[in-house]
Chains A and B, each alone.
Chain A
Amino acid sequence: MSSEKTLAGAAESGKLPAPILEARGLVKHYGHITALDGTDFDLRAGEVLGLVGDNGAGKSTLIKALSGAIIPDAGEILLDGQKVSFQSPHDARVAGIETVYQDLAVAPALDIASNMYLGREVRRKDLLGVLFRKLDYGYMRETATRHLMELGIGLKSVRQTMETLSGGQRQAVAVARAAAWGRRIIIMDEPTAALGVRQSGQVLELVQRIRARGLAVVLISHNMPQVFEVADRIYILRLGRRAAVLRPQDTTMADVVSIMVGAIEGDVSGRGPGAGATPTAAPSGYSLTSLDPHRS
């Protein structure tokens, strides 16, 4: 108990926020390919962690393990210091971890509200809902609208189908959906890969807004300037292991790339005084409109 209190106290003072999500010694083999080779990982409350690495470094495997999409062969994952074992993405979602997938997992012919509530539709509470499973469209549309506005996403109507939106708007809705349901952590796999410069900038601003609302974000990106722009810490993965964890202000893009490709050795500790995250905004707790009728 006492050690927990110290950690919490440290988090409040903003010096060393406690890791909200931790992984120790993750191993994952695909046949005789080793994707994760004893990977350690830590994500702290209220930070944006940039996850970078060369192709095949194991980025996707790592986030799949953290989001429950795969089960690691060895190692453990801790959420708020408690050991967890996700058997499916559903388990991770229940624990408050949402993932925004690279290939934009939205249904284009469905409207925005339906997409934000896909798989989590809310039924009416009256007899129609109980007996005939009638959905509460009014509630879902209203809440989705409010949530999008809070994130500064301006759209004509949540009744628009996704296919009428631009690529940036679709990505914004996907990110907003994750932010709405993720109570703690949002994992984003290359959210700007398919976007133009302006739209990428908008998504990055959205990432910062989500952090300001107290959620921790793991941002996977190939785009080094973007990582340096928004990340509080940069985690470099190489050959399935943590090669270094750096703060953007302590390093340069050239160095990060060198560590990525193995040209120079990284600082594996990532826990030195310099590497401690000092989030720009202290975690303010969850303050977004929840889409979930059971939590609002």
Chain B
Amino acid sequence: MTEQTPRLGSVDATPALQPGEPVWQVLLRSPVAGPLTALLLACLVFSLGTPTFFRTENISLIFQQSVVVGTLALGQTLIILTAGIDLANGSIAVLGMVVMAKYAVEGGDPIVALLLGFAVCMVMAGVSGTIVSRFNLPPFIVTLGMLTAIAASTRLYSSSTSYTVSPSLLTWLGNSIKVGGATVPYSIFVWLALFAGAHYVLTQTAAGRHIFAVGDNIEAARLAGIDVKRTLLAVYVAAGAIYAIGAWEALGRIPVADPNGYATANLNSITAVVIGGTSLFGGRGGVFGTLIGTLIVAVLGNGLTQAGIDSLYQQVAIGILVIVAVAVDQLVRRRRAS
């Protein structure tokens, strides 16, 4: 037996561990560094290039345009962090909207209508979560099936008609206050509060650590004693509740529940998550990135319109951004793995 102290792969000669490191290093390493730079750059270019972009009213508009897809993207982030994906989130929210609106239009109490909408969204997402966690089926296929089935069921349930709700609790989130001359609907505050809450849970609680661990290495999470199935199911049900909030926000924005609406919201939410730097392979990322990702999409659309450029270019730009974001993610993963 040797007398020397085995220091496993010691990085430096001093045995002392450094618990902290410079803040700028942490920032640079932070996965939101890239998306945040892109957002600020886009804002700078549009502010200099157009006279109308950098106005409180326009900034408020960008947030208003972001809020529904941004809320769906928040739920999407939680699921993608577990190495899943939810193609059905838009259709779940639309079903929630139709259930809320139909019940209210037919004379029901708006509070009951709202609760029914929440219940339906949570149950639908819970069905996806149950199938994914109990039967170990790939989330892509499960939620693709759910998307098709829910979208069709919504049309059957509504007889393919839209429901227009009169001002009530259901449209309450559309009410606004004046902030510096701009109208800011309540839904924006709800959206931002949701992000803060989700960020707290993900980074400061054990439940959050478990979500990352399940997405990162599900077998390690299981062996560490984490109830993997319960964690997965809880994430899907929580996402369902967030989709219901998205449905509520959507009724506040436009008080019409259209069974054919928000048809591409699922893909838009995935776009926002990916541009925000959350890995499609699970286990890395966060909701702050998704907030930035959502805003990047909205800023590009808004800015290009202000500059008088065909909005189709926005979609070209978004498409390129998605590919760049995934490429960066792959690069980071590969470099760290080696």
* Assembled-state Cα–Cα distance A146/B206 (Å): 22
A261 interfacial contact with B, CB 8 Å: no
A119 touches B216 (CB 8 A): no
B159 interfacial contact with A, CB 8 Å: no
A137-176 at interface with B (beta carbon < 8 Å): 141-142, 145, 148-149, 152-159, 161, 163-166, 168-169, 172
A133 interfacial contact with B, CB 8 Å: yes
Question: A157 touches which one: B21, B219, B283 (CB < 8 A)?
Answer: B21
Tally of B interface residues using CB under 8 Å: 38
B11 touches A119 (CB 8 A): no
B308 interfacial contact with A, CB 8 Å: no
* Assembled-state Cα–Cα distance A32/B205 (Å): 46
Question: A148 touches which one: B2, B6, B17 (CB < 8 A)?
Answer: B17
B28 interfacial contact with A, CB 8 Å: no
Residues of A within 8 A of B205 (CB): 132-135
Stretch at the interface among A4-12, A203-211, A232-240: A203-211
B19 touches A157 (CB 8 A): yes
Stretch at the interface among A78-86, A107-115, A249-257: A107-115
B225 touches A161 (CB 8 A): no
Interface residues of A (CB under 8 A from B): 89-90, 93, 99, 101, 103-110, 114, 118-121, 123, 132-135, 141-142, 145, 148-149, 152-159, 161, 163-166, 168-169, 172, 199, 201-203, 205-206, 208-209, 280
A119 touches B225 (CB 8 A): yes
Q: Which residue of A lies closest to B285 (CB)?
A: A109
B212 touches A110 (CB 8 A): yes
B152-175 at interface with A (beta carbon < 8 Å): none
* Assembled-state Cα–Cα distance A206/B217 (Å): 25
Residues of A within 8 A of B284 (CB): 109
Known: A154-B11, A199-B9, A208-B1. A90 touches B216 (CB 8 A): no
Q: Which residue of A lies closest to B16 (CB)?
A: A149
Residues of B within 8 A of A90 (CB): 225
Residues of A within 8 A of B8 (CB): 152-155, 168-169, 172, 199, 202-203, 206
Residues of A within 8 A of B219 (CB): 103, 105
Residues of B within 8 A of A165 (CB): 9
B42-65 at interface with A (beta carbon < 8 Å): none
